[in-house]
Amino acid sequence: MNDNRNEALKQSGVLFVLFGATGDLASRKLYPAIYSLYREGKLSDKFAVLGLARRQRTREEFHQDVLASIQEFARFKVNPEDPSWQKFVERFTYMPLNTNDAEAFGRLNELAGELEQKYRIAGNRLFYLALAPELFGNVASNLKSGGLLDCEGWHRLVIEKPFGYDLPSAEKLNEQIQEVFQEQEIYRIDHYLGKEMVQNIDVIRFANAFFEPLWNNKYIANIQITLSETVGVEERGGYYDHSGALRDMAQNHMLQMVTMMAMEPPSRMHPEDIRDEKVKVLKALRAFTSSEEVRSNVIRGQYIEGMMKGKPVPAYRSEDKVDPQSTTETFFAAKVLVDNFRWAGVPFYVRTGKRLPVKTTEVVVEFKKVPENVYLASRTDLAPNLLVFRVNPSEGIYIKINAKQPGSDWTILPIAMDFCQSCGVDLNTPEAYERLLFDAARGDSTYFTRWDEVALAWRYVDRIAQAWSGDKTDLQLYAAGSWGPDAANELLHRDGFHWWPVNGQEESEVVWVESRPQ
């Protein structure tokens, strides 16, 4: 089916209408993604990009912006003197636009029609809103009144997180958008779903006969999901102090990762069937019913001054645009339970934070130990088997098993069979935004979040936020450069587990058997 979609996109073409064309997201992610799609032949010559922002830019200045973006961030090299570059960049047009000026959208529609005629595009328009969420509803309304949705082909809307601040605000925002666009025309981006190893989770689970029979509470002891960042809030202090780790990371990225690990096999490889299974997981999450349950199962922390790579870094409350008395969390950890037949009793431990010692996204599946006092387990303390998905910055999987130490009688050591997907020579894998932008253009919504997913995720985290709003005393401080508050470790210790070392901090006793791409 995807082959048919790919060919249809090449034949009919697409006009990318990009709001926020002078912003950081466009520069760092979107222009490099479009260039990669072009270089790989996923876009034919039937495409154009119409950039929109308040700032005044000439066509030549806009082209220089696009060139600088691609030179710095794209995975393909570019030579501005190459005729192929000129052929590519000539398809980029800029128009200054005030999103509150309804009449300007009529002129925008005229320009869009001119570009479609010039590049033989069959009226297909992809509107990408790299804007603040409070502008989504107004822009959607003006797109309709300006005639931009009266095109001959399809029209789709791509929007970035955060999608609301809580469930009521998300519902209001969704109502505004759905007055103009139908649900199947709305593509809500969570860029973690575009990452290679996140998409590989389903393949590894469902395409290997020796994993799926073990993927349940009879054999799995716990699952650990870590999304750690070494940076602080940087220039995002104003936004972050309003959202915090719970809304910025847990409501979207972390719960999406939980659904990928816990979902049932879909009946078909169809986007709606896959998303149906993710919704079932979100419905099965055990909701916290009291502030005491939240306090017992959820940890929130905030970094204070510390050392990162031998250099002192300031406390969160000293960061630019952050309230000096802020109680916003920069660290979040929780014990999440999925109350269904497959996962009953298996804890999902999740954690995310800023100013942690290692930048990584990693999922660890810890299998139950073999029965104690039986055969080999009676002679030595056997380590549990692990299956680890490394998502970022390196991509790959490894499996840790127990094996006899060569030359010994019964000395058993853990060994890890490691496959690093991103270590291959000349391996140039697509970026997350490249995959997702391509999927949106060809109408594949598999790795975009549907409204009911968004609503269920907000309903889950809102209970946590409500408990926190009435109690400021449970905010725990941690030194920058550490792994967060000690209470995050206690979440696992009381269940008899511990956080496994993540990428860059492997266990010293593990013997590594590496499998590298040749």
Catalytic positions are 253
CA 429/CA 39 separation, integer angstroms: 13
CA 12/CA 498 separation, integer angstroms: 54
CA 207/CA 209 separation, integer angstroms: 7
CA 178/CA 352 separation, integer angstroms: 32
The per-residue DSSP string of 426-485 comes to T--PPPHHHHHHHHHHHT--TTSB-HHHHHHHHHHHHHHHHHHHT--TTEEEEETTS-S-
CA 54/CA 174 separation, integer angstroms: 25
The per-residue DSSP string of 187-238 comes to EE--GGGGSHHHHHHHHHHHS-TTTGGG-STTTEEEEEEEEE-SS--GGGHH
Q: Quick one: which H or E segment has residue 96?
A: strand 92-96
Q: Are 20 and 95 in contact (CB under 8 A)?
A: no
* Pairing, β 311-313 against β 306-308: antiparallel
Q: Are 96 and 51 in contact (CB under 8 A)?
A: no
Query: Whose CA is closest to 213, among 258, 265, 253?
Result: 265
For residue 60, give Cα distances in angstroms to 21, 84, 89: 14, 17, 10
Q: What SS3 state is found at 170?
A: helix
Q: Which two tokens stand for residue 137?
A: 């509803």
